[in-house]
Amino acid sequence: MSNIRPTHGDSDWFVKDRFGMFIHWGLYSLPARHEWVKQREEISDEDYQKYFDHFDPDLYDPKIWAKAAADAGMKYFVITTKHHDGFCLWDTKLTDYNATNTPYGKDVLRPMVDAFREQGIKVGFYHSLIDWHHPQFVVDSMHSQRNHPDRDKLNEGRDQKKYIEYLKGQVRELLTDFGDIDILWFDFSYPKNENHPNDFVGKGHEDWGSEELNKMIRELAPNIILNDRLDIPDIWDIKTPEQFQPVEWPKVDGTPVVWEACQTFSGSWGYHRDESTWKSPEMLVRMLVDTVSKGGNLLMNVGPTGRGEFDKRALSALSEYGKWMHHHQRAIYGCTQAPDEFKAPVDCRYTYNPDTNRLYVHLFAWPFRHVHLPGLKNKVAYAQLLNDASEIKMPKPAGVHTNVQASMEQNNLTLELPIVQPDAYVPVIELFLK
Ligand code: GLC
């Protein structure tokens, strides 16, 4: 697609790399029942303090994390520098509520950034706009203290403007103390509107000082990629649909945009011990393929444990990605949606590399003997299975089964497949276009 909405930051690398790792790590890894636990269970600061007092990830070794990401085929990562509970992973000068004051006693962000960079992985910072710990953050209907009997009193003396200064100051630290940051990922705005009509206070761009914030960010880091959750149209670079797969390439005012789906292995972003809706490896691979087939990126989340490890389930899912990517990365990196003239048949997705002019047919269901590809007759010079470079025949009409003949007459290209599906969650056929 040529008419993609231009970005302010540098998204050239982003639309080629396609696959990243999201990491949600913080105090909520200890209760281990969702990163919104403070809000959902309306836990007071005093009661939440026990997680701060016991944060001691003794097994934390970010080199292991970075290696797991690289082995899975991930090219960039986005880490929660601060989530909604307000806890900061780095040695920020602007609050004591950070990792260095926990029993662990050290900045956990800096070694992570170093370790991922060492693996050649680009660095993104997620930063929560919302803060259920900061004393100046005005309590609203989303806040963990929303049902406090003395809510109005709680808000006496709170000054959101002071919070804005804090937010700005922290973003300045993040963009100046860690070398060049590639992505800044804010989360999130919920302005009072038709979706939130009863909010006693929603929060949007005025509550974050989004305009000013953006100005500062663009000055400090002109190439950075900014996500779309600051509640101002036009300043963002990428759209970030979450927990669903868009039906088609997302557009704004009819123009396709650079976009990234963010997804979880199970139903929680933070480590959740008892959550059991872990996606199958097959579904995970399909989600990656589906995303790239619509011109997008996939940011897949891991929620490390309170001891500082990726748990077994996450490691296993990552290694399944790694196995698939080992043979099929060529159908992901540098790829995008296929030109409009090529429409994938039922149960298939196409990805396309414009530089090599190769089209990739991803088969979500392995058919018996033939697959018929509309509009591709006489357009393909050579076809092979991607996993082992074994030839896929393109039978000529004469002497073959009549359904192949009929299909070819309709301008389809028919491929002859082996009966046995290759050992891959999603097998891929590589087509060298003429
Ligand atoms: C949401 C949630 C949050 C998660 C994020 C990831 O907005 O508030 O917990 O960090 O999505 O996209």
Expressed in angstroms and rounded, the spacing between residue 388 Cα and the centre of ligand 1 is 39
Nearest-angstrom CA–CA distance, 56 and 36: 20
Q: Please tell us whether the domain made up of 14-331 is placed in CATH 3.20.20.80.
A: yes
- pTM exceeds 0.85 for this model: yes
Nearest-angstrom CA–CA distance, 33 and 94: 28
Expressed in angstroms and rounded, the spacing between residue 243 Cα and the centre of ligand 1 is 10
Closest residue CA from atom 4 of ligand 1: 269
Phi and psi torsions of 326, nearest 5°: -50, -45
Mean pLDDT of the chain: 95
CB-based contacts of 340, cutoff 8 Å, min separation 6: none
Superfamily, domain 348-433? Golgi alpha-mannosidase II (2.60.40.1180)
- Closest ligand 1 atom, CA of 83? 10
Phi and psi torsions of 370, nearest 5°: -130, 145
DSSP H helices, 157-249, are 160-176, 205-208, 210-220
Closest residue CA from atom 1 of ligand 1: 187
User: Per-residue pLDDT tens for 316-364?
Assistant: 999 999 999 999 999 999 999 999 999 999 999 999 999 999 999 999 9
Closest residue CA from atom 10 of ligand 1: 269
Give the residue from 125, 124, 123, 137 showing the smallest Cα distance to 85.
Answer: 137
Is residue 317 helix, strand or coil? helix
Nearest-angstrom CA–CA distance, 244 and 307: 30
Expressed in angstroms and rounded, the spacing between residue 80 Cα and the centre of ligand 1 is 10
| Res. 172: pLDDT tops 60 | yes
Give the residue from 355, 338, 347 showing the smallest Cα distance to 249.
Answer: 338
User: Per-residue pLDDT tens for 225-237?
Assistant: 999 999 999 999 9
Q: Percentage of residues in the chain with pLDDT exceeding 90? A: 92
User: Per-residue pLDDT tens for 181-214?
Assistant: 999 999 999 997 766 666 567 899 999 999 999 9
Closest residue CA from atom 3 of ligand 1: 269
Domain segments of the chain as ranges: 14-331, 348-433
Expressed in angstroms and rounded, the spacing between residue 127 Cα and the centre of ligand 1 is 10
Give the residue from 26, 47, 28 showing the smallest Cα distance to 37.
Answer: 28
Closest residue CA from atom 5 of ligand 1: 187
User: Which pLDDT band holds residue 314 (cuts at 50, 70, 90)?
Assistant: very high
Torsion, Cα of 221, 225, 228, 229 (10° steps) = -50
Cα angle vertex 207, ends 149, 102, to 5°?
Answer: 70
Expressed in angstroms and rounded, the spacing between residue 215 Cα and the centre of ligand 1 is 24
Q: So what's the pLDDT on residue 426?
A: 98
| Mutational test site, ligand 1, from 188, 203, 230, max ligand atoms within 8 Å of CB | 188
Q: So what's the pLDDT on residue 211?
A: 98
Expressed in angstroms and rounded, the spacing between residue 251 Cα and the centre of ligand 1 is 22
Structure tokens at 414: 């028919």
User: Per-residue pLDDT tens for 360-418?
Assistant: 999 999 999 999 999 999 999 999 999 999 999 998 765 556 666 666 667 899 999 99
Expressed in angstroms and rounded, the spacing between residue 116 Cα and the centre of ligand 1 is 22
Nearest-angstrom CA–CA distance, 94 and 173: 9
Closest residue CA from atom 2 of ligand 1: 187
User: Per-residue pLDDT tens for 253-311?
Assistant: 999 999 999 999 999 999 999 999 999 999 999 999 999 999 999 999 999 999 999 99
Residues framing ligand 1 (Cβ under 6 A): 24, 35-36, 187-188, 242, 262, 269
User: Per-residue pLDDT tens for 43-97?
Assistant: 999 999 999 999 999 999 999 999 999 999 999 999 999 999 999 999 999 999 9
| Mutational test site, ligand 1, from 242, 266, 268, max ligand atoms within 8 Å of CB | 242
